[in-house]
Amino acid sequence: EARLARAAATREARLEKERREAEAKAAKREAALTVKAHQAEERLKEIQVAERQAREAAKQAQAAAREQLILEQQAQAIEEQAVDRAASALSSKVGMGPARASTRTSLEVPQRGGDAAGVSNRRRQPGEPNFYSLNPFRNTKAVRERALQAARAARRLASVGALAVASLAALTGAFLNYSPAAPVGNVGGVAVTPAGGPLLLAGEKLFLHDRGGKPEAELSLADLNVARLSPPLAFETTGTLLALGSLEASGTPRLLRCDLTGRTCAALPDLPANIAVAAYTSNPVTGDLFLLDADGGILLKTSSSGEIRARAQLVLPELPALRLHAGLLLMNSATGPGVSVLRYDDTAFGEQLDEILLVPPPAVTATHSRVGDFLFSGGNWWVTLYNPDNGSAGLYLFDSQWQYLDQAALGNPSVPLTLTNWGDKTLVNDGRGIALERFNSSGGVEVPLTSAPLEALVDESRLRNRLLDSAWRAGLVGLALLALLSFAGAYLQHLRHLVYRATHERGAEPVDDLLDDVQWISAAPGREKTLRTRLMSYGGLALALVLIAVGQRLGAVQLAALLLFLLGPGIALAIVARSSAGHIGVSGQRLLLVEPSGTYHLGGGADLLYRGNLLFIDDVALYAGGRLLPAFSEEEIASRVEPLVQGGVRIDARTSLTRLLQSHHPLARALTIMAASSFGALALLAAGGIF
């Protein structure tokens, strides 16, 4: 029984295993069938899409083939009609006679009715075109789809215009926040080295010269590891340079001592940083410094390192100046035209000993009531006196005892004027140019001191700033013009879309069978002569205007804008004068319009559009003429054309302009050139004002 039970269990386990394997195989087969079914469905969908695309492509190909066949049939019909017409014309002409010998004989008998037989009875009408040059208007695919293309072009141009406006706004903001480097246009400070050579500070550079004023060296502030330097400048007997400045761009100006040979600068170590130095001088014997603190109104005496040894409270003048001479400390007065004499010993530092009043007659006349800079040079005192109300100034010469001698010849000076002793010469810097006025010891004017490297730097700085400014302005003007032209083009394309979206153009029908019945309108008598007269008259008027403008001394930009403005109408008149007026034919109740290019169209009633003297049938446009620009006979236009035009449709100005530009009529080219010349003249004037 146990063996039977085990055998039964084994058999059941084997059967269960076989059942599970069978179920797994069935599941795999079902999954594979499902995947294949999905793949088959996808393939079927792809086949259906491909078949649908193939059917659509076949339909398009059939439509294109039918359209091409229609066009070929029309062209063949027109060609056959032209051949028939040519054959008819040839058959009506004189037949070719028999060949005759080059030598006439007495046997030669004239043929009966020879040269007059077969002459055509049809005579060419005035205003009739050359029939072989006519081209019918075609309703092509481009014509049918131009409304859609115009809408797309309008959207593209509007997008370009919007992008240009956004770029213009961003560039304008950047331009308003842009601060170009200040151009080097003046000498900021002057000092004379112990060797007798002048040093000039201009912009961020120092220019060293020898005793004769010839350039020797050039240093930048970066070479000295300083961010800024400003006057007053002075050399110590040791050859070091004293100047106001800061080692960092954001630092407070302090009194610096610079070693030009070692190319280093450092602040005075013992001088407090909160002292705002307005003027200073040094004692060449002891090395002591005398400083004026502008914030506190304090006169300071310091050591060479800046250690304060004495101080005195003073009333400082508007333009303080300190000089040390003959054991006395001199400072310009704050209350009148005088120089205060001060003590500089430690026990009575800053005590005023005397007040020297300077009232030369020319200064009294010019109301120069304050002393600016002053200097002992060449055995005399040089003093600048100025008017504190209007800033006018004068340079006056006094002897060593402060007795008035003369007034130095300066053009139109104004404060501040700084004086520098260069040997027995005196240099005057007004801070407004790169040339320093030079005077000899007796006050005579000499050749101004100029520096060739400084002149080159000034020219380079001005050119760089001018180019940068021009680049900014050119970018702004370019973006503004791009935005303007883009929006103008978008507007014109929008008009084009509005005009042509509801129209249904048709191709011109063959007119070979109608040509004998068409009555043609004669051209205006003397049209070419009249247009030439108009052109010559306009040329004379334009020349007179140019001569008047030259006489009024207009600038080059204004004169160029005037020439450009006058050139447009002249070219427009020349185009109209050199172009044909076209042809107008009357066939029953319809008009046959032939453009100057030879394209024709036939229509009447609602197919005929007009605006003033402009006539349109689809894209064929014709100008019927006027008093200024004659084209056709006014009598024939009034009697034979106007009655038919009144049965047409009058269109507005925008529609007529759009259709005229679409037709490429010579008048459209003339108007385009006039608009372009006017816009160019305005742009030139605007650019002249901006740049």
Q: Residue-wise over 124-141: b if at least 16 C-beta within 10 A, else e?
A: eeebbbeeeebebbbbee
Q: Which residue has the tokens 């007269």?
A: 533
pLDDT at position 122 over 90: no
Per the prediction, the chain carries an average pLDDT of 86
Across the range 335-354, mean pLDDT stands at 92
Q: What is the pLDDT of residue 281?
A: 94
pLDDT at position 112 over 50: no
pLDDT at position 201 over 70: yes
Q: Residue-wise over 43-76: b if at least 16 C-beta within 10 A, else e?
A: eeeeeeeeeeeeeeeeeeeeeeeeeeeeeeebee
Q: What is the pLDDT of residue 12?
A: 87
- The CB density around residue 664, as the number of other CB atoms within 10 Å, is 14
Q: Where are the beta strands (DSSP E) in 378-459?
A: 380-386, 393-398, 404-407, 418-422, 425-429, 436-439, 445-449
Q: What is the pLDDT of residue 182?
A: 67
Residues making up the chain, counted from first to last: 691
Residue 88 pLDDT level (bands cut at 50, 70, 90): low
3 state DSSP class of 290: strand
Across the range 16-22, mean pLDDT stands at 88
The residue type found at 465 is N
Q: Note the pLDDT tens digit of each residue in 571-618.
A: 999 999 888 888 999 988 889 999 998 888 998 888 899 998 999 998
Q: Note the pLDDT tens digit of each residue in 304-333.
A: 999 999 999 999 999 999 999 988 999 999
State the Cα–Cα distance between residues 691 and 685, nearest whole angstrom. 10
Q: Which two tokens stand for residue 187?
A: 């000498």
Among 32-41, 118-127, 444-453, where is mean pLDDT lowest?
118-127
- By percentage, how much of the chain surpasses pLDDT 70? 93
DSSP letter for 439, please: E
Q: How far is CA 114 from CA 88, 96, 303, 469, 523, in A?
A: 20, 10, 134, 87, 37
pLDDT at position 87 over 70: no
Q: What is the pLDDT of residue 86?
A: 64
Q: What is the pLDDT of residue 64?
A: 79
Q: Note the pLDDT tens digit of each residue in 605-620.
A: 888 999 989 999 988 9
Q: What is the pLDDT of residue 109?
A: 43
Q: Nearest-CA neighbor of 434 among 416, 454, 418, 404?
A: 454
pLDDT at position 105 over 50: no
Q: Alpha helices of 501-608 — where are they, by DSSP H?
A: 527-551, 556-578
Q: Nearest-CA neighbor of 164 among 405, 485, 439, 416?
A: 485
- For residue 666, say if its preceding peptide bond is cis, omega within 30 degrees of 0: no
Q: Nearest-CA neighbor of 632 among 659, 646, 612, 613?
A: 613
Q: What is the pLDDT of residue 6?
A: 84
Residue 502 pLDDT level (bands cut at 50, 70, 90): confident
Contact (Cβ atoms closer than 8 angstroms) between residue 684 and residue 564: yes
State the Cα–Cα distance between residues 376 and 360, nearest whole angstrom. 17
Q: What is the pLDDT of residue 46?
A: 86
- For residue 643, say if its preceding peptide bond is cis, omega within 30 degrees of 0: no
Q: Note the pLDDT tens digit of each residue in 630-671.
A: 989 888 889 999 999 998 999 999 888 888 988 888 998 999
Q: Which residues does 219 contact at the CB level (< 8 Å), separation at least 6? A: 205, 206, 208, 260, 263
State the Cα–Cα distance between residues 205 and 239, nearest whole angstrom. 18
Contact (Cβ atoms closer than 8 angstroms) between residue 187 and residue 202: yes
Residue 362 pLDDT level (bands cut at 50, 70, 90): very high
Q: Note the pLDDT tens digit of each residue in 52-83.
A: 888 888 888 888 777 787 777 777 777 777 66
Q: How far is CA 577 from CA 253, 450, 497, 532, in A?
A: 76, 63, 32, 7
Q: What is the pLDDT of residue 107?
A: 38
State the Cα–Cα distance between residues 221 and 156, nearest whole angstrom. 53
Among 143-147, 397-401, 464-468, 681-685, the range of highest mean pLDDT: 397-401
pLDDT at position 142 over 90: no
Across the range 85-102, mean pLDDT stands at 51
pLDDT at position 94 over 60: no
Q: What is the pLDDT of residue 120?
A: 44
Q: What is the pLDDT of residue 140?
A: 86
Q: What is the pLDDT of residue 567?
A: 93
Q: Which two tokens stand for residue 639?
A: 């009697």
For the residues of 240-251, what is the DSSP string, one character each?
PEEEEEESSTTS
Q: Nearest-CA neighbor of 410 among 430, 390, 381?
A: 430
Q: Nearest-CA neighbor of 202 among 180, 229, 181, 227?
A: 229
Contact (Cβ atoms closer than 8 angstroms) between residue 370 and residue 378: no
Q: Nearest-CA neighbor of 289 among 298, 279, 276, 297?
A: 279
Q: How far is CA 104 from CA 109, 287, 396, in A?
A: 10, 134, 120
3 state DSSP class of 16: helix
Which has the higher per-residue pLDDT, 682 or 104? 682
> Helix 452-500 crosses helix 666-690 at what angle (to 10 degrees)?
150
Q: What is the pLDDT of residue 177?
A: 83
